């Protein structure tokens, strides 16, 4: 099933409504769709490098709006389904402790999930479940998703098709290393 979704998504890159399809996929990927928009964004930028930053902007805006949907899914489903289950099992106090810890580090969770291969939709929904401050969630989402999509767009704009394999195979790892270095830098500044 995933392979069919991947093939279908790739075929959209050649369609005249590719930008609209990209917006829809970017929106849905942030809350429910399993295929990342990169697989549509990359061939679109290779086909039209002069539109690289427009394409990245469409991904960014749609993804952040989709992230808001994920946030509200988490918020709404938790109150109607999650909380009664936790109360039934007497675990609602544990959740409050988890919520407090998540909200302390929630901006980092959104940043990490927004730039790495970790499913962003998990963090958008979790942010809603824990009621992470919506402003913090939005700012972290814009920074993370902007970084992810604009780095890909810039690399493709500058280097074209030869960089495609690097992006598809190693860019996620590079973002993970970047996030770890950034977090390590903040740790050093704060504690040393």
- 56-100 pLDDT, tens digit per residue, is 999 999 999 999 999 998 899 888 877 787 788 777 777 888 888
Model-level pTM? 0.77
Give the structural domain span for 134.
Answer: 2-191
Q: Name the least confident of 116-120, 137-141, 179-183.
A: 179-183
- Of 66, 173, 180, 77, give the one whose Cα is nearest residue 131: 77
Number of folded domains in the chain? 1
CB neighbour list of residue 51: distance below 8 Å, 6 or more residues apart: 44, 45
Q: What is the per-residue pLDDT for 68?
A: 95
């Amino acid at each position: 099933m995933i392979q069919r979704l991947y093939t279908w998504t790739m075929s959209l890159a050649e369609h005249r409504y590719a930008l609209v399809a990209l917006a829809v996929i970017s929106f849905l990927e942030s809350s429910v769709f399993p295929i990342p928009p990169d697989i549509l964004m990359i061939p679109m930028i290779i086909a039209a490098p002069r539109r690289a930053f427009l394409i990245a902007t469409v991904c960014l805006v749609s993804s952040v709006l989709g992230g808001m949907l994920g946030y509200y899914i988490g918020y709404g489903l938790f109150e109607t389904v999650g909380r009664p289950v936790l109360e039934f099992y007497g675990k609602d106090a544990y959740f409050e402790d988890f919520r407090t810890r998540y909200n302390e580090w929630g901006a980092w969770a959104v940043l990490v999930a927004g730039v790495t291969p970790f499913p962003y939709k998990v963090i958008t929904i979790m942010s809603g479940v824990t009621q992470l401050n919506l402003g913090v969630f939005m700012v972290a989402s814009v920074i993370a998703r902007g970084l992810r999509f604009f780095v890909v767009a810039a690399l493709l704009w500058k280097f074209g098709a030869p960089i495609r394999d690097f992006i598809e195979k190693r860019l996620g790892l590079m973002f993970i290393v970047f996030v770890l270095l950034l977090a390590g830098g903040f740790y050093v500044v704060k504690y040393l």
